[in-house]
Amino acid sequence: MIVAIIPARGGSKRIKKKNIKSFLGKPIISYSIKVAIRSKIFDKIIVSTDSNEIMNISKKYGAEVLFKRPKNLSGDYVGTREVISHAAKWLKKNVSKPKYICCLYPTAPLINILDLKNSYKKIKLNKQGYVFSATKFSYPIQRAFYLTKFNKIKMFYSKNFNKRSQDLKDAYHDAGQFYWGSYETWQSNKPMFQKNSNIYLLPKYRVQDIDDLEDWKVAEKLFKIKK
């Protein structure tokens, strides 16, 4: 059984009701659900949530809500792996053991059907770790700086100040869209970033992390361009 699990708790802090907030006229979670359905990869598309409102909206757009997420897995400091692991165990006990599980984030409207299909092919070849979406930093992180408590500029690596960009290694980051793993991988304590994991590379223009309202507006503009 191939399963998509969308973790969507109700207690978002920085953006109120973030997981169901209107994104260009529709709840943002609906985009992840629709892409999962249209990909025709999954036997089940499940939302793990502690919110009745999210439950109802998720069902409206075609996802299943088979259980209510327990309170101890709904706090601010609970990791994604714990939530997916819980859902996978529930499925194994009450439905059937999943073979591969894809965690889809509910606030990733730029998810692409073809990316899901191609990354699914990659996880079937890599049973030891994860396959997750990633993209390249647009600026060399080796020349990044921060502000001190006195509002002064200080470089993380001052030795790189005079180095050319092309002489520095490319750096990549998690794109925050999807994460594939076998049932066994999700149940392990292995971190996402490990030697056995692989990335599915996305172009920078199709990646936007949404942490605040400014990010939200950028994501809407990128979505319009994509369409």
| 198 φ, ψ (degrees, to nearest 5) | -125, 155
Query: pLDDT above 70 covers what percent of the chain?
Result: 100
Per-residue pLDDT, 27: 97
Q: Is the pLDDT of residue 211 over 80?
A: yes
CB 184 within 8 A of CB 92: no
Residue for token pair 């598309």: 45
148 contact partners, CB below 8 Å, separation of at least 6: 154
161 contact partners, CB below 8 Å, separation of at least 6: 143, 155
Q: Is the pLDDT of residue 190 over 90?
A: no
Provide the CA 216 distance to its chain's centre, in angstroms.
15
Per-residue pLDDT, 141: 92
Q: What is the mean pLDDT of residues 192-212?
A: 93
Cα–Cα distance measured from residue 120 to residue 101, given in angstroms and rounded to the nearest whole number? 10
Residue for token pair 């859902």: 87
Domain boundaries, the chain: 2-135+173-226
Q: Is the pLDDT of residue 72 over 80?
A: yes
3-state secondary structure of 133: strand
Q: Is the pLDDT of residue 227 over 80?
A: no
Per-residue pLDDT, 38: 97
Q: What CATH number is given for 2-135+173-226 in this structure?
A: 3.90.550.10
Confidence band of 82 (pLDDT split at 50, 70, 90): very high
CB 215 within 8 A of CB 208: yes
The closest of 19, 28, 24, 26 to 49, measured between CA atoms, is 19
Per-residue pLDDT, 194: 87
Q: What is the mean pLDDT of residues 197-214?
A: 94
Per-residue pLDDT, 181: 96
Q: Is the pLDDT of residue 203 over 90?
A: yes
Cα–Cα distance measured from residue 169 to residue 159, given in angstroms and rounded to the nearest whole number? 14
CB 32 within 8 A of CB 106: yes
The closest of 127, 108, 102 to 185, measured between CA atoms, is 127
Residue for token pair 């889809």: 104
